[in-house]
Structure 1
Amino acid sequence: MSAIVQTRDARRRVSVWRPWVSQEGMVLAASIFFTVACNAAFWRAYAGTGALESARGWVTAASLATAMTGLHFLLLCVVMNRWTAKPVLSVLLVVTALAGYYSHHYGVYLDPDMIRNVLHTDSREARELLTPGLALPVLAALIPVAMVWWTRIPAQAPAPALLRRVLLMVAVAAVTTGALLVSFQDISALMRNRTELRHLIAPGNYLVSLIRVATEDPAAAVRARQPVGSDALVVGRGDGKPRVLVIVVGETVRAQNWGLNGYARQTTPELANLDVLNFTDVSACGSSTDVSLPCMFSAQGRRGYDKRAIRESESLLNVLDHAGIATLWRDTQGGCKGVCAGLPFESLVDARVPELCNTERCLDEVLLHDLRAKIDTQDRDQVIVLHQLGNHGPSYYQRYPDQFRRFLPVCESADLGKCRQAEIVNAYDNAILYTDHFLARLIETLGADDTRDSAVIYVSDHGESLGEGNLYLHGMPYAIAPATQLKVPMVMWLSPALAADRHIDIGCMRQRLDAPATHDNLFSSVLGLMQVDTTVYDPSQDLLAPCMGRGHG
């Protein structure tokens, strides 16, 4: 009996040390923690504006901190009650710590496009981002999580609790408004001139972006797309050989490190020995695959960019299909993002080719493994898209076989913050060497086939930041994305027979290689090369048209 009494006394003594905290008090403490501990990326960006060099800038910082805390408090008060407060706050504390880590260490902006990228990331890509560096923010978040569960929330009658909640929200709203008014001019100018900064304020950034993505029309991806180029016809063809065009969509290769563009290192030695056309000034549609891929295969492109219209309209491949040209999309990455919907598609992510694949991934050469056999199944014109894994980060060192490990030493970690920038660049450049080899092999394969006229167009979907300005990876908002994320390489190869048949003046083309070009040029350049006549063809966007003796037809 005495043991039972002692146990009860012990529990009673422990409970004394468990404080009672109201729901609102818990939410306020969490909001302060978010502002102070989870927004290093935002405060670094704010300091980067030079505002903290004056007393006025510090006052503005205090106003921002008060407003951030208040807005998060108001947002959380709307969705929390006595039963949901602890589990919801626990999840938010951990997720916000992770979001803050990626924003601070990689320069990631959690806008809706980035949230879509996260949601579309496959398990292999996700595992690469789970680095040992995450342990510290997770452990730091577990301290406030433990405190949340240690405290006790008192029960209150519904009516008084609601009144208390409303009064506190009104008071906090007043304080928040006052803080904004104190520095209204400076905050207004900051958010007007640097609109992207709002995507660094956690947890509001990912919560608002997630809501926006979740409320998008879910039926848009599955319902019939708006027809594009349904009038398409192949014109001007004689009884010549069938044609095959292979479009290689590169991944995360930036123009700055492309050997043919004059990079200090020759990262494209094999292409340099081939008769290719290298376009030196090419801009991407976006800074992420989720944006660029649908955009570059659309009729609108960046010049008429409308994300919804692009996703709800047919693509270049559909126009080719309307014209009777066979299409095929082959992929070692995350799919075609709707570009090939309803058309032949092959994922080689889980291919079983021992010399090219391991238990995690296949090297890009698996796309060439049985390509000739695929081509031989068709006796008509065809366009094949090869979507590479390419230079997908952060594990650049895993994107190439050992024989392309030429630039040393390399970063052999997905946690780029643990490597010197030179090591990151070495691994990245080795991956470009492998893409160079991949393209050379493809051209060799097509060039050896004298039963068809052939061509290759290679263009990367977007670039990459490798630590410049403390930015890594890609996906920054388009308006502020650096050139490293938006400038990409583009190469074209035409078999001599195809160039002669289409009366393409190669000398004329070489004189135009330094002119600005964009992803927008892909759509009409492909239609022109394949002699597809349609109302959506735009000769002003066709890179070949000025040097094509007989024009489009």
Structure 2
Amino acid sequence: MSKNNLKLLDFSLLMSVVNFLLFHIPFFSFVFDNVDCKKFNGIVLIISLILVMVIANTFVFYLLCFISRFVGKILLVLTFVINSIAVYFINTYSIIIDESMIGNIINTNYQESSSFFSVKLIMYIIVLGIIPSVYTIKVRILNVPLRNFLITSSCTLSFLVCMAFANAANWLWIDKHSKTLGGLAMPWSYSVNSALFYIHKYKRNEKEILLPDAVMKDNEKTVVVLVIGESARSENFSLYGYSRNTNPLLSKVQNLYSFEATSCGTYTTAGVKCILEHRYTDELYEILPNYLFRHNVDVIWRTTNWGEPPVHIKKYQDKENLESHCKGKDCDYDEILLTDLKEQILKSTKNKVFIVLHTSTSHGPLYSKKYPLRFENFTPVCTSVELGNCSQQELINAYDNTIIYTDYLLYNVIQYLEQLKDYKSTMLFVSDHGESLGEKNLYMHGIPISIAPKQQYEIPFIVWVSEDSKKLKSNNISLSQHHVFHSVMYFLGIQSPIYNEELNIFR
């Protein structure tokens, strides 16, 4: 028999072993870190996981190639290439590819995804993806009779069932760590979770659920600016006790309050949805800008980011819309969101104005590219997309510079609002989630919130109010992102059956 000729079972087993050896070091690193390898039960669990992973993948590859060798090979090639990319991100950024991370990936635009490009990524694709794929394409798979296929399949399934029951004592451990195990098993991490993401997304977006009608209580001229931060963690704001002065401007502003707060999730889509909805729910209820727009509030949405729920308003302005009115090098950064902001408010024909500025200032991995050079107060900075190659101090320096730039942006928003003497005004700054900067060897964000470190969910919630405006309740309380919806409603003087006084920060 030619060395390029393999029986279907041999080929499937070989592909499964290659898949196991190349792409499951992170999986078993986690297992070894969380299992007592000195105990008999721990040894049984590890051996069982190895056998189940190899045999289960063998069965799937065997089934696919029996149905169609051509389709099976194409899917195997895609598996190796995608696996190589997935393992690169797992090894480089310590991520877990669960359903929420799939949503993060799908909602990433070209500008963000291109920032992850590196020579190391290309090497992963070539060595772990393309080289095994070349062999996969070249090998000739020999036919197998249907009877042999059925016998092999039956025996394999029976073995897997027996292994499951033999590990009944470990079911609780597996269930406890199922999200992490599922997020590190290739190719099931991204294939199963992608399917789950689209199924759940379809169910959520079948129809937006309208909230009950509201009533405008007064015609007083009022403006609210909600600034949605990106990857800003409160730990690095001097307003929250950070040793570095990352808030040199805001620290001097009167009527400014900072609250302890936590995010609903550790990725953009979950965080932004939570900021804009009236309560935590998996359903797609009418979000704040849509609700206010429907009740005759002048709503303006400006963004250099993405990942928000569907926004149904007339004045939706992304970076491309704002570029034509912005001049200078700073238009390449989030300052573009402030272009003619005061003028747009003054042109409004309505007494109630609500503005959302959705920033991208602190999003990694290239923090050093998120601010103009004049804000580079802390040096040296990390300039690599492979954050593990930088010292933690270089990484923190670059990130802290983004917080200084955020401080500058928020200060300018306040300056604009202070000039609007005919309006009662407020600015709320709330981040979508936090960020890991190498603590416990974790980077960026997206870890499931049930196991995420505090750096990924402890966020700033900063509020400024104009003179003679509404006062705030005590800021010695911890807030959630849902406080935004009800606080904005109260400040604008809008009464609704879904309003919750307990989630209002104003008195």
Normalised by the shorter chain, which TM-score bucket?
over 0.9
Q: Does 1:233 align with 2:233?
A: no
Spell out the pairing of 1:341-380 with structure 2 (5 A cutoff).
341-349=312-320, 351-352=323-324, 353-356=326-329, 362-379=332-349, 380=351
The structure-2 alpha-carbon separation of the partners of 1:476 and 1:83, relative to structure 1 and needing over 3 Å to count, comes to: same
Matched with 2:477 is: 515
CA contact (8 A) 2:229 2:429 kept: yes
Asked whether the 8 Å contact 1:299–1:523 carries over to 2, the reply is: yes
Q: Percent identity?
A: 26
Q: How far did residue 97 of structure 1 move?
A: 1.6
Are positions 1:121 and 2:108 aligned together?
yes
Selected match of 2:298 from 316, 326, 339: 326
Q: 1:436 to 1:60 in 2, by over 3 A?
A: same
Residues 1:38 and 2:23 aligned together: yes
| Separation (CA, whole Å) in 1 of partners of 2:102 and 2:111 | 17
For residues 409 and 57 of structure 1, do their structure 2 counterparts lie closer, same or farther at Cα, with a shift above 3 Å needed?
Answer: same
Q: Which amino acid aligns with 1:109?
A: I
2:194 maps to amino acid: L
Three-state SS of the structure 2 residue aligned to 1:491 is strand
Distance 1:70 1:540 in 2: 54
1:102 aligns with 2:102: no
- Other-structure match for 1:26: 11
User: Secondary structure at 2:260's aligned position in 1?
Assistant: strand
Aligned-pair distance for 1:43?
1.5
Task: Verify the 8 A CA contact 1:250 1:461 in the aligned structure 2.
Answer: yes
- Higher mean displacement: 438-447 or 110-119: 110-119
Partner of 1:5: none
Question: 2:403 corresponds to which residue?
Answer: 432
SS in 2 for 1:378: coil
**Matched residue count:** 500
Structure-1 separation of matches of 2:175 and 2:40: 21
Amino acid at match of 2:147: L
Task: Name the counterpart of 1:12.
Answer: none
Inter-partner Cα distance in structure 2 for 1:195 and 1:95: 22
Q: Given the alignment of the two structures, is residue 170 of structure 1 paired with residue 154 of structure 2, yes or no?
A: yes
**Deviation at 1:248?**
0.2
Q: Can you list the C-alpha shifts for 1:438-460, whole angstroms capped at 9, x where unaligned? A: 00011011112223221100000
For structure 2, the residue ranges without an aligned partner over 5 or more in a row are: none
1:385-414 CA-to-partner distances (Å, cap 9, x unmatched) read 000012011111110010111111110011
**Aligned counterpart for 2:188 among listed residues 184, 204, 229:** 204
- Cα pair distance change 1:22/1:488, threshold 3 Å: same
Range with greater deviation from structure 2 (257-266 or 31-40): 31-40
Confirm or deny that 1:469 pairs with 2:440.
Answer: yes
TM-superposed CA distance for 1:485, in Å, is: 0.8
Question: In 2, Cα distance between the equivalents of 1:93 and 1:225?
Answer: 39
Q: Matched residue of 2:141: which SS?
A: coil
2:495 corresponds to: 533
The worse-fitting range, judged by mean Cα deviation, of 395-404 and 190-199 is 190-199
SS at match of 1:397: helix
Q: Of residues 99, 120, 125 in structure 2, which corresponds to 1:133?
A: 120
Contact residue 272 and residue 307 of structure 2 kept, 8 A: no
* 3-state SS of paired residue (2:30): helix
Q: Which moved more, 1:75-84 or 1:143-152?
A: 75-84
Q: Which amino acid aligns with 1:166?
A: L
The one-letter amino acid paired with 2:301 is W
Partner deviation per Cα, 1:92-147 (whole Å, 9 max, x = no partner): 01111211221222121211221122112111111111222213321222232222
SS state of the match for residue 52, structure 1? coil
2:202 and 2:179 mapped to 1: Cα distance? 26
Distance 2:224 2:275 in 1: 16
Q: Deviations over 1:511-546 (max 9, x none)?
A: x223111111111111111111110101011111xx
In structure 2, the residue matched to 1:195 is 178
Alignment partner of 1:482 is 2:453: yes
* In 1, Cα distance between equivalents of 2:46 and 2:289: 51
What SS class does the counterpart of residue 457 from structure 1 fall into? Answer: strand
What is the aligned-residue RMSD (CA, Å)? 2.1
Tell me if the contact between 2:278 and 2:287 (Cα under 8 Å) persists in the aligned partners.
yes
What is the Cα deviation at residue 256 of structure 1? 1.2
SS of 2:305's partner is coil
- Alignment-derived partner of residue 140 in structure 2: 152
The structure-2 alpha-carbon separation of the partners of 1:183 and 1:321, relative to structure 1 and needing over 3 Å to count, comes to: same
Q: TM-score, structure 1 length as denominator?
A: 0.86
Q: CA deviation at 1:53?
A: 4.3
SS in 2 for 1:21: strand
Residue 225 of structure 2 corresponds to residue 246 of structure 1: yes
Quick one: which of 250, 274, 292 aligns to 2:253?
Answer: 274
Letter in 1 for 2:224: L
Alpha carbons 1:64, 1:180 under 8 Å: kept: no
50 and 439 in structure 1: CA distance in 2 versus 1, 3 angstrom threshold: same
- The runs of 5 or more residues in structure 1 that have no matched partner are 1-15, 549-553
Q: Which residue of 2 aligns with 1:402?
A: 373
Choose 1 or 2 for highest CA Rg. Answer: 1
Query: 1:163 offset after TM fit, Å?
Result: 2.8
Relative distance call for 1:335 and 1:287 in structure 2 (3 A) is closer
Q: In 2 relative to 1, CA 153–108 (structure 1 residues): closer, same or farther, beyond 3 Å?
A: same
- Cα distance, 1:219 vs. partner? 8.1
d(CA) in 2 for partners of 1:428, 1:45 = 28
State the 1:335 CA deviation.
Answer: 5.2
Distance of 1:25 and 1:373 partners within structure 2: 71
Pick one of 272, 276, 280 that aligns with 1:297: 276
